[in-house]
Amino acid sequence: MAKIQSKHETDFEAELLSGSAHQVPGKINVTEYWFKVPLDYRNIAGESLRIFARSAEPLNKPIVAESDPPKQLPWLLFLQGGPGGACAPVRQGSWTSFFLDKGYKLLFMDQRGTGLSTTITTETLIKRGDPQAQADYLKHFRADNIIRDAEAIRKVLTKYYPTINKKWSILGQSFGGFCSIHYLSFYPESLREVFATGGMAPMVRQPDALYAKLLQKAIEMNKAYYAKFPEDIARVHQIVEHVSTNKIKTTNGGLLTPYRIQNLGMLLLSLDGWETLHNLFLRASTDLSTTGEILRPTMMAIEQQVPFDNAILYAIIHEACYLSGSASNWSAERALAANQSFNISQTPKDQPIMLTVENITHGTFAAYESLQKILPAAEIIASYDQWPKLYDEVQLAKNTVPVYASIYVDDLAIDFEMAVRRAKSIGNCKTYITNQSWHGGLKEHCDEVLGALFALRDDVMA
């Protein structure tokens, strides 16, 4: 039975360690904060973590100095996708200017274990001790503790705000949407409104059914990709045959394996990714046809697209993001084994090799040197079945916080039907459903997606 967190685990205010401000182009004032929070909220006197966050607000330079204190703008917290992803600098997100123009003050928080917050790498994880110690540490890096951090930071940032301004809004992209739903489950009184883009977490205790459905959607998208680039059918076979018959080292010590080529399908998640994927196959095939090997520039380009060496947190706890009181036991790997469409060795030369998307397997760990070193810890995480409950379905059903969610029909990371079901399970949730954007709609079609969500927020149907 999955446990629900108790109140004593959440009644905590982060310690503000420092803050410094500077201006960036676009008349934006950025403040960089460092906070101190507990690793384990059940033991606040124990080990601590540093959390880094940047705020962004419009820069106001009046001609005459104002006598009144500056206006307190309403906060909006951006929750990054992942798990294991860090926030980009504030000007790189097109949603920054969108929300600043709407009158918000934004906070970009590097979630624990990522970016400039106390970061998890292979090297830092190994220093924790044996695989069991490593796994025990990793258990503290799911959505529940990310949101505890956010709530602790909200308390210190709004400490001297009037009560009406102590609540904040959230924009959650992908995994950030999962985090938002956890926030709604356990701290609804802290939220003014929630915007979730491609982040309606499926109502599952364990992800087997989810991965099976996502693989079927991946087959559809593979067929569409190869219809657009039919010449890549032969190219991918050529590349896979080469890496199958040669032990090819990557520039950072890993292996270029058939699975690693297959997992370049991660690029199918975004509209821009299709051209990038085609270019990689074209470059690798050209290298092989002209030199008999994949050259260093192409190798480095491949490495940069799915950089699990630098995103070990994603590789280790991706499946744990779905779990409540159950173990994943390498769920995606089982789903792939059950779907023969993804069996490379059984794919005829005239048929396309199906590319995978968000599927972490033993093959992933075998292909990356950094992951090879922490596989024993990953095995422990995969078999762990005491994960606390991530969502309170009763609370979500009676939710009154306004929620505005974008759901993408052709999303390769979030099953469409499961996303719709999740949205319907949340009280006061309005949805924008489209087949004009994919999982990266917030980045690729920012104005359209956020414009639609604000139409739901500000307008009526009749």
> Which strand ranges, in their side-by-side order, compose the sheet holding 105-109?
15-24, 28-38, 48-58, 105-109, 75-79, 168-173, 191-197, 403-408, 429-434
On average, the pLDDT of the chain sits at 93
Residues in contact with 34: Cβ distance below 8 Å, sequence separation at least 6, in sequence order = 16, 17, 18, 19, 50, 51, 52
1 within a domain of the structure (yes/no):
no
**Among the listed ranges 53-62, 326-335, 374-383, 425-434, which one has the minimum average pLDDT value?**
53-62
pLDDT at 22: 92
The total of structural domains in the chain comes to 2
241 band by pLDDT with thresholds 50, 70 and 90: very high
pLDDT at 280: 98
What one-letter code names the amino acid at 293? Answer: E
Among 358, 383, 408, the domain-final residue is 383
395 within a domain of the structure (yes/no):
yes
State mean pLDDT over 24-41: 95
pLDDT tens-digit readout, 43-52? 999 999 999 9
CA 265-359-53 angle, to 5 degrees, is: 90
295 and 322 in a single domain? The answer is: yes
249 and 335 in a single domain? The answer is: yes
Checking if the pLDDT of 344 tops 90, the result is yes
Q: How many CA atoms lie within 13 A of 391 on its CB side?
A: 23
pLDDT tens-digit readout, 412-454? 999 999 999 999 999 999 999 999 988 989 999 999 999 999 9
pLDDT tens-digit readout, 161-201? 999 899 999 999 999 999 999 999 999 999 999 999 999 99
Beta bridge partners of 36: 15, 50
303 within a domain of the structure (yes/no):
yes
237 and 316 in a single domain? The answer is: yes
Cβ neighbours of 282 (radius 10 Å): 15
State mean pLDDT over 254-278: 94
251 and 365 in a single domain? The answer is: yes
182 and 248 in a single domain? The answer is: no
295 and 412 in a single domain? The answer is: no
Are 431 and 407 in contact by the 8 Å Cβ rule? The answer is: yes
358 and 225 in a single domain? The answer is: yes
Rounded Cα distance between 347 and 345, Å, is 6
In percent, the amount of the chain with pLDDT more than 70 equals 96
Rounded Cα distance between 57 and 39, Å, is 30
296 and 405 in a single domain? The answer is: no
Task: Indicate which CATH number applies to the domain containing 188.
Answer: 3.40.50.1820
Q: Which residue has the tokens 């999955």?
A: 2
CA 365-127-110 angle, to 5 degrees, is: 75
State mean pLDDT over 138-144: 97
pTM of the predicted structure, to 2 decimals: 0.93
428 within a domain of the structure (yes/no):
yes
Residues in contact with 416: Cβ distance below 8 Å, sequence separation at least 6, in sequence order = 217, 407, 408, 409, 410
pLDDT at 59: 86
Query: Which two tokens mark 202?
Result: 């499926």
Are 81 and 175 in contact by the 8 Å Cβ rule? The answer is: yes
pLDDT at 205: 85
- Dihedral sign, Cα of residue 272, residue 79, residue 197, residue 316: positive
Please give the distance of CA 185 from its chain centroid, rounded to a whole number.
19
Among 343, 361, 383, the domain-final residue is 383
pLDDT at 9: 54
pLDDT at 60: 80
Checking if the pLDDT of 3 tops 90, the result is no
pLDDT at 66: 67
- Dihedral sign, Cα of residue 226, residue 230, residue 236, residue 237: positive
State mean pLDDT over 289-311: 93
3-state SS track over the chain: CCCCCCHHHCCCCCEEEEEEEEEECCCEEEEEEEEEEECCCCCCCCCEEEEEEEEEEECCCCCCCCCCCCCCCCEEEEECCCCCCCCCCHHHCHHHHHHHHCCCEEEEECCCECCCCCECCHHHHHCCCCHHHHHHHHCCCCHHHHHHHHHHHHHHHCCCCCHHHCCEEEEEECHHHHHHHHHHHHCHHHEEEEEEECCCCCCCCCCHHHHHHHHHHHHHHHHHHHHHCCCHHHHHHHHHHHHHHCCCECCCCCECCHHHHHHHHHHHHCHHHHHHHHHHHHHHHHHHHHHCCCCHHHHHHHHHHCCHHHCHHHHHHCHHHHCCCCCCCCHHHHHHHHCHHHCHHHCCCCCCCCCCCCCCCHHHHHHCHHHHCCHHHHHHHHHCCCCCCCCCHHHHHCCCCCEEEEEECCCCCCCHHHHHHHHHHCCCEEEEEECCCCCCHHHHCHHHHHHHHHHHHHCCCC
69 band by pLDDT with thresholds 50, 70 and 90: low
212 and 168 in a single domain? The answer is: no
134 within a domain of the structure (yes/no):
no
Are 184 and 151 in contact by the 8 Å Cβ rule? The answer is: no
> What are the residue numbers of the active site?
174, 411, 439
Residue-range definition of the domain harbouring residue 398 = 7-129+140-203+391-458
pLDDT at 92: 77
2 within a domain of the structure (yes/no):
no
State mean pLDDT over 221-247: 97
6 band by pLDDT with thresholds 50, 70 and 90: very low
263 within a domain of the structure (yes/no):
yes
1 band by pLDDT with thresholds 50, 70 and 90: very low
218 and 324 in a single domain? The answer is: yes
189 within a domain of the structure (yes/no):
yes
Cβ neighbours of 300 (radius 10 Å): 12
- Dihedral sign, Cα of residue 115, residue 119, residue 124, residue 125: negative
State mean pLDDT over 257-271: 94
22 and 149 in a single domain? The answer is: yes
State mean pLDDT over 76-89: 91
Q: How many CA atoms lie within 13 A of 298 on its CB side?
A: 20
pLDDT at 296: 96
Instruction: Name which residue leads in pLDDT, 311 or 241.
Output: 241
Among 383, 408, 433, the domain-final residue is 383
372 and 400 in a single domain? The answer is: no
